[in-house]
Amino acid sequence: MPLDLANKSPIGPKDAFSDLPSDLDMYLRDIQGNILKSHGRDHSQHLFIQFTEPAEARKWLGSMAGRVTSASKQWKDSLQRRKIFAEAEKQSYPAAWREAQLTERASDIFINVLISKKGYDKLGTPAGQIPQDAAFLRGAQNKETTTKLGDPPVSAPAGHDQWEAGFQQDLHALVIVADDSAAKVALEADRISDEVGRSGGRIAHREIGTVLRYGENGPVREHFGFVDGVSNPLFYAADVEKAKPVDGQFRFDPSAPLGLVLVKDPGGDKETGYGTYFVYRKLEQNIAQFNHDRFVLATAIAQADGREAANEADKDLAGAYIMGRFRDGAPVVEFASESGVGKDIPNNFDYKQDPNGDKCPFQAHTRKTNPRGDTGSPLERDARIVRRAISFDVAGKVGLLFLCAQSSIPNQFEFMQKSWCNDPKFLRPEVRPNPPGALDTGLDPIIGQGEVTEQEWPQKHGNNERIKATLKQSVTMMGGEYFFMPSLSFLEKAGA
């Protein structure tokens, strides 16, 4: 029986302390981890590989089949950790006990392998075994792709915007190595680099990712200071149960069918082989520019209120108007101020109570990227992406190594970037008519690419008066590629 990709109910046990049923585990042993749930490790290295000797490279891929973390192993490792954390609470010295247990029974290092279209070609993969997504086939460097997304050109004369040299090359495969210890990641990444060097390939480029947190074990944040990684489609019943509000009624249902992210892997096992398409984008964040923009908007808010200078509350509100959430994760459609980073960050909300954008502007990053029903179209939920990003901070440059998984790059990531974030007419007036004299919504102020224009923002939270401000772009696309994350059975076959 094939896996039901249109599943109405989320998969697996509702209780996160249970084992996976064997009929599901059979598939999850062949699907890579980090698709249906984030690997959650704090450190990672991304090794971009160029194959030189196809036959040797295929053998190397085969050798990775036994080392890649499957979704099944990810579940089992997390189960062990959950049990350790629960048991620790019963001990007299929980933290010390937990640390000792985690050291003794540490999870294995997390590994993913992904292949680009150029990689499949270089490996000499038969056409019938190559995934067929239209965007994947053209690749991220393709002129049609960069034009569609408003990306800078891959290469340009000196002094003009262009991609980083590492991303200007042909990138055939990507290995993700992740762990909570940066030292363990470095060791494993070096070991893989050596093996690749001996087996028909070279590391063409490397990125280093480090999770930023509020406090030692607090929520994840990104470089502009906002809690990140909160809202994502959920596939496991245990995750959906955990997200359920007390009354059991979702206002925004985070669950998703497997078909949002999985497709049949044409090169994998006929029955169990499934994979996903990954978008990789290195996005540099200009913190000074972002803070300047936030200050410009905060000053406009203060002056509309009869005050000359912006105070901290104005700056907080300006940041929330831009992002859609305050730094502590509180959605601006529900909260007028931030209250400090807590444990549970609200995600069960929609924008029904704010049809005119009086609390959360239509252009806010989270409203552009997930309108939560604003468009009235059932297709909106199918455009969701599965975000697996990690921050970077290397040689004075900071930003996000943005990764997202989906079953269709044109209908999900590309649609979101082009038709929502880059389109000044989304959401208004494309979906809702403009009131007389009103400006169009404009770009997503975080990741919109295109002509920056003056935008309207609520003068006060919940107020239908508007102020105007023009914000510059503070995120720059430095390069990337489209990949397929194949089944483990494909990797095995490649090496046979």
The answer to whether 388 contacts ligand HEM (rule: CB under 6 A) is: no
Is 283 one of the binding residues for ligand HEM (CB under 6 A)?
Answer: yes
CA dist., res. 284 & res. 290, Å (int)? 12
- The minimum distance between CB 493 and ligand HEM, in angstroms, equals 33
Least distance CB 7 / ligand HEM (angstroms)? 21
Q: Which of residues 317-336 bind ligand HEM (CB under 6 A)?
A: 323, 325
CB 378 within 8 A of CB 401: no
- With contacts defined by CB under 6 A, name the span among 226-234, 255-263, 450-458, 465-473 that binds ligand HEM: 226-234
The residue from 5, 102, 204, 230 that contacts ligand HEM (CB under 6 A) is: 230
DSSP state of 155: S
Pick between residue 365 and residue 466 the one whose CB is nearest to ligand HEM: 365
Q: Which range of residues in 41-49, 68-76, 135-143, 362-370 is near ligand HEM by CB under 6 A?
A: 362-370
Interface stretch with ligand HEM, choices 97-105, 133-141, 163-171, 363-371 (CB under 6 A):
363-371
3-class DSSP assignment, residue 300: helix
- The span from the CA of 222 to the CA of 392, in Å, is 9
**Residue 281 CB, nearest distance to ligand HEM (Å)?**
6
Structure tokens, 274: 């499934």
Amino acid of residue 56: E
Q: Tell me the number of residues near ligand HEM by CB under 6 A.
A: 28
Return the residue of 50, 145, 366, 407 that touches ligand HEM, per CB under 6 A.
Answer: 366
Asked if 228 touches ligand HEM (CB under 6 A), the answer is yes
Alpha-carbon distance of 68 to 65, in angstroms, equals 6
| 316 is a contact residue toward ligand HEM (CB under 6 A) | no
* 447 interacts with ligand HEM by CB under 6 A: yes
Q: By CB under 6 A, is residue 422 in contact with ligand HEM?
A: no
- Judged by CB under 6 A, does residue 385 bind ligand HEM? yes
Distance (Å) of CA 367 to CA 289, 320, 430:
22, 11, 14
Query: H or E stretch including 357?
Result: none
SS3 category, 228: coil
Of 452, 421, 425, 451, residue with least CA distance to 438: 425
List, as one string, the DSSP characters of 52-68: S-HHHHHHHHHHHTTTS
Q: Alpha carbon of 53 to those of 57, 64, 119, 123: distances in Å? A: 6, 17, 12, 8
The residues pairing with 213 across neighbouring beta strands, listed in sequence order, are 220
Quick one: 58 or 223, whose CB is closer to ligand HEM? 223
Q: Six-digit token pair at 144?
A: 């049609």
Q: Which stretch binds ligand HEM (CB under 6 A): 22-30, 222-230, 259-267, 313-321?
A: 222-230
Q: Which of 34, 72, 112, 231 binds ligand HEM (CB under 6 A)?
A: 231
Query: Residue 201: which of 46, 68, 47, 44 has the closest Cα?
Result: 47
Would you count residue 350 as binding ligand HEM (CB under 6 A)? no
* Alpha carbons 238 and 79: distance in angstroms, whole number: 11
Q: Which stretch binds ligand HEM (CB under 6 A): 118-126, 143-151, 353-361, 414-422?
A: 414-422
- Which of 133, 188, 207, 222 contacts ligand HEM by CB under 6 A? 222
Give contact residues for ligand HEM (rule: CB under 6 A): 222, 224, 226-231, 283, 285, 323, 325, 365-366, 369-370, 385, 387, 399-400, 402, 413, 416-417, 421, 446-447, 475
